[in-house]
Amino acid sequence: MGTSLVTAVINGKTLTAQPGMTIMQAARAKGIKIPSLCYHPALESSGACRICLVEVEKHPKLLPACTTPLSEGMVIFTHSPKAVAARRFVVEMILIRHPLDCFSCESNGRCDLQDLAYELGIEKSPFQEEGNVCTDYALDDTNPFYIRDMNKCVVCGRCVRACDWQSGYHAVDFQFRGIKTTVNPPVGMKLEDSDCVFCGQCVQACPVGALIERKSIGQGRSWETEKVRTTCAYCGVGCQLDLHVKGEKIVRVTGTEEGMPNRGRLCVKGRFGYDFIYSEERLTKPLIRVRKGDMKSGDDLFREASWDEALDLVASRFKEVIERHGSDAVGGVSCARSLNEDSYSMQKLFRMVFKTNNIDHCARV
């Protein structure tokens, strides 16, 4: 604060930015898209991929937009022939080892690498002639939450930084060198036995199809899903999440990047705990007890009923009790998991209709 704004020109457009902003941040803030791969707005930039190289007047070398601070008077070209050529070279290098089986990839349609290749008009890597150099790592699919396909890894490091900063663990890191570099839990250790808490932050951060939620597989392509923002159903943090929905099905869940208080972060329950709503065991009809019985006998003591019958019974039995014993002979416990509007309605029923303040909830568990 207090220090004056920085003025610069990007692609002929004059813009101002807060001091200390990188070229990438300043451009994004004004809606200018600079192609990127390892950049993630919630993470510290590492400058690893070199996709975001831009040409800056008076600078002989191209500069990475995600790590270069915007300085006063800079004149920047994000898509100059030199910048585009450099970007093309980087993508072509990545594609040497990246499998081109996009058809069957879960990330198809929401993959940053695919988008880059499309934008640059690259079909396959021209360097690929000397035989198949795709890596051949086994799929890591032994944990119940997500699958790691290191053959698709572009070594952007977003997962490592997400784990480190957004979840506060250091469960995975780079391993091996050169073309064999991948991201893994400590050598010789399975992910399940590492520090990993399966928050899936790394999965959300991955720009390609190397990390994929297990439950999402085959559930729907990205262009078939609609994003619906909601609030997590588990703890009091109240994380904002985006449900990726196809019809009535949740395909996957991601943290809402701009949502408060979590800014894109989620834990294992919020990200992976959603499918109870689809359980076959859901109650689907009102039930009325037919007889008292031994709770443990296993017989069903209930029969199905219509809403009218069940509600008439509830209303009349409460009326009867209140007539006989007074309003304070009835009581209710509301739900600390359900909607505000539901708790409001329940206390309204007890206070306005039954005329009692015998209403509480489990504030304490």
Partner 1 sequence: MTNTIGEFATAKLLFCIGTNMTEAHPVAATYLKNGVRSGTKLIVVDPRRQELADYAHIFAQLRVGSDIAFLNGVMNVLIAENLYDNRFVEDNCENFDDLVAKVAEYPPSRAARISGVPEKTIIEIARMLGTIKPAMVIYTLGITEHNTGKRNVMSLANLQMLLGNMGVEGGGVNPMRGQNNVQGACDMGALPNMYCGYQRVAVPEISEKFARFWGVDGLSTREGLKIAEMTNGLPAGKVKAFWIFGENLVATEPDIGHISHCLNSAEFLVVQDIFRNETTPYADVILPSAAWCEDDGTFTNTERRVSRVRKIKEAPGEARPNWWIFKEVARRWGYDWPSNSGRDLWDREIAPLCPAFAGITFDRMDAIGGIQWPCPSEDHPGTAVLHRDGRFSRGKGNFQAIDWVPSAEEPDETYPFVLSTGRRLVHYHSRTQTGRAKGLNERMPEERADISIPDAERLGIANGETIRVVSRRGSVKIKANVSKRMPQGMVWMSFHFWETNANRLLSGDTASFDPDTLTPSYKACAVKIEKMA
**Could you say which residues in the range 33-52 bind ligand FES, by CB under 6 A?**
36-39, 47-52
User: Residue 97, SS3?
Assistant: helix
Q: How far is CA 293 from the centre of its chain?
A: 47
Residue 217 in the binding site for partner 1 (CB under 8 A): no
Round to whole Å and give the CA distance between 278 and 243: 14
Residue 168 in the binding site for ligand SF4 (CB under 6 A): no
Contacts for 190-196 with beta carbons within 8 Å, 24 or more apart?
190/142, 190/143, 191/140, 191/142, 191/143, 191/148, 192/142, 192/143, 195/169, 195/170, 195/171, 196/143, 196/163, 196/169, 196/171, 196/172
* Shortest CB 53 distance to ligand FES, Å: 8
Q: Which of 198, 272, 318, 350 binds ligand SF4 (CB under 6 A)?
A: 198
CA-angle at 80, arms to 78 and 86, nearest 5°: 85
Count, residues near ligand FES per rule CB under 6 A: 12
Residue 158 in the binding site for ligand SF4 (CB under 6 A): yes
Phi and psi angles of residue 316, each rounded to the nearest 5 degrees, phi first: -75, -35
Q: Which of 62, 66, 153, 191 binds ligand FES (CB under 6 A)?
A: 66
Question: Applying CB under 8 A, which part among 18-26, 35-43, 176-184, 283-291 lies near partner 1?
Answer: 283-291
Q: Which is nearer to ligand SF4, 55 or 149 (CB)?
A: 149
**Could you say which residues in the range 105-164 bind partner 1, by CB under 8 A?**
143-145
* 126: DSSP letter: G
Residue 90 in the binding site for ligand SF4 (CB under 6 A): no
Q: Which is nearer to ligand FES, 44 or 226 (CB)?
A: 44
Round to whole Å and give the CA distance between 144 and 192: 9
Binding site for ligand SF4 (CB under 6 A): 153-159, 162-163, 167, 169, 171-172, 183, 196-202, 205-206, 208, 210-211, 232, 234-235, 237-239, 262, 266-267, 269-270
